[in-house]
Amino acid sequence: MSDAQLLKLENVTRSVLLPDDSELHILNGINLSVSEGDHIAIVGRSGTGKSTLLNILGLLDRPTSGSLAWRGQDATRLSARRAAHARGRDLGFVFQQFNLLPGRTALENVMAPLMYASGRDFWRRRTLAAEALEKVGLGARLDSMPQTLSGGEQQRVAIARALVRRPRVVLADEPTGALDVATGRAVMELLDAATVESGAALITITHDINVAALAREQFRLEDGMLKSMAQEVAR
């Protein structure tokens, strides 16, 4: 684990105003520190605020109160343009439903984030995408369309796409939810190995305790708060 801190949440809350003018409190004092090389799992049932927390970690949303630091800077003060730039450059996303572009090959899907790159990465986008697919075992499927790939293969394309810009943090939202148990475990082991190799932090948000067990730190999201599962076991 590196000492280079990437994300730090202190007493983060998130509330939304309902039509009857009452407040729905979704997050109630979240504290979390993420450094380079970390692999963190956050477990929670549906409706516990996992997606809300993911959006804050991914700089897609801002806390109602509390502090959110990104690489030592106050992320709540980032303009929309600077937040979008940080997401494109330093954050990779892996989703449950893969979110691959239909009508585009595996190679074209992985190249997509590099269309917004600059300099050498933009001009080498085809080579970088091919290398990323090779690393996830799909070097022979560059020209395959998503519908011709299995669920596990589609998720590996999504992993290659998330890693192709060498992000500092990878956020995986229920990455095995659409896969069978054996394929899901293989995908998680691949994702873990790929982020270890690149030095990126990996944050997995899941309802599956078996997926969470693959991480080095596990937290449970309950009543809008994060609780260390290691402390639960100790008690």
pLDDT in tens, 147-191: 999 999 999 999 999 999 999 999 999 999 999 999 999 999 999
What band does 111 get if pLDDT is binned at 50, 70 and 90? very high
CATH class of segment(s) 5-234: alpha beta
Residue 42's pLDDT is what? 96
What band does 230 get if pLDDT is binned at 50, 70 and 90? confident
DSSP state of 207: S
What's the rounded mean pLDDT across residues 131-139?
95
- Inform me whether the pLDDT recorded for 4 exceeds 90: no
- Inform me whether the pLDDT recorded for 117 exceeds 90: no
Residue 3's pLDDT is what? 60
- Inform me whether the pLDDT recorded for 232 exceeds 90: no
Identify the burial level of 29 via C-beta atoms within 10 angstroms of its C-beta, where 0-12 means exposed, 13-18 middle and 19 or more buried: middle
What's the rounded mean pLDDT across residues 132-156?
96
Domain residue limits, the chain:
5-234
Q: Is the dihedral of CA 185, 191, 194, 195 positive or negative?
A: negative
User: From CA 19, how far away is CA 24, in angstroms rounded?
Assistant: 10
- In this structure, of 1-15, 22-36, 44-58, 75-89, the range with the lowest mean pLDDT score is 1-15
Residue 46's pLDDT is what? 83
What's the rounded mean pLDDT across residues 117-124?
87
- Inform me whether the pLDDT recorded for 234 exceeds 80: no
- Inform me whether the pLDDT recorded for 128 exceeds 50: yes
H helix intervals, the chain: 50-57, 80-90, 106-111, 120-123, 125-135, 151-163, 181-198, 209-212, 229-234
8 A C-beta contact, residue 188 and residue 175: yes
Residue with tokens 């956050």: 42
User: From CA 96, how far away is CA 89, in angstroms rounded?
Assistant: 22
DSSP state of 100: P
